[in-house]
Amino acid sequence: MNFELQNQRILVTGATSGIGLDIAKALAELGANLVLIGRNRDILAELEQSLGALTLAVDITDEAAVNAAFSEMPALDGLVNCAGISILDDVLDVKAKDLDQIMATNVTASAVVTREAARHMIANGRQGSIVNVSSQAAMAALPGHLGYCASKAAMDAMTRVLCLELGPKGIRVNSVNPTVTLTPMAERAWADPAKRDPMLAAIPLGRFASPREVALPVAFLLSSAASMISGASLPIDGGFTSH
């Protein structure tokens, strides 16, 4: 088995914060050559130095900007769609503009990036792997998460269609579905015991995920060790979706 990604060129979106940043660091440790997309130019500059990555400041909701970025993209072996947003509201307070924004980022933008990456891989004769960072929210109803749940369920559905269409080209496509993952932002958001404790009680392992516990399964799915896995949605949730 080979979990290394030596000399594999992998594009990661949402790479300047949260889970995406930890994925980028883990892939670099495993020898990947990285292309990192984000909107924070200062962090991108730091990652260019620390990880030796090629970095691109791109708003992935801007299709023209995505197309331009791929016009000079080096040959790719993999893609991680990690850019995403969440706007939380109870059903009775949901706003159409918020739903549109969530879907535009989590679904449409990921589909456009995937389209361009797949075209690029095929044109360069590369077979490889695409991993979509979804959520347990795709598999279970969460109060206040209507738009987010819908967007991540759409991402899982997209994963299956991409698996079907890109498999004959030698490109595997999978999703990972994390539970609450303790990025700095999540640590602040879940600090209130009244919010935190009921969620922890619903996770059989009794704890939240660390970013690295999400990053390493992503690396596995990108690697040749997962060469026969495609179309899967992998819960990384401590058992949350088992009941």
Q: Which residues are catalytic?
A: 148, 152
- Among 84, 80, 59, CA closest to 69: 59
Distance CA 107, CA 78 (A): 18
Q: Which amino acid, 162?
A: L
Place of tokens 């819908």: 150
Are 46 and 21 in contact, with CB atoms under 8 Å apart? no
Distance CA 82, CA 19 (A): 7
Distance CA 156, CA 46 (A): 32
How far apart, in Å, are the Cα atoms of 220 and each of 25, 105, 130, 223?
14, 25, 11, 5
Which helix (H) or strand (E) covers residue 57, if one does? strand 54-57
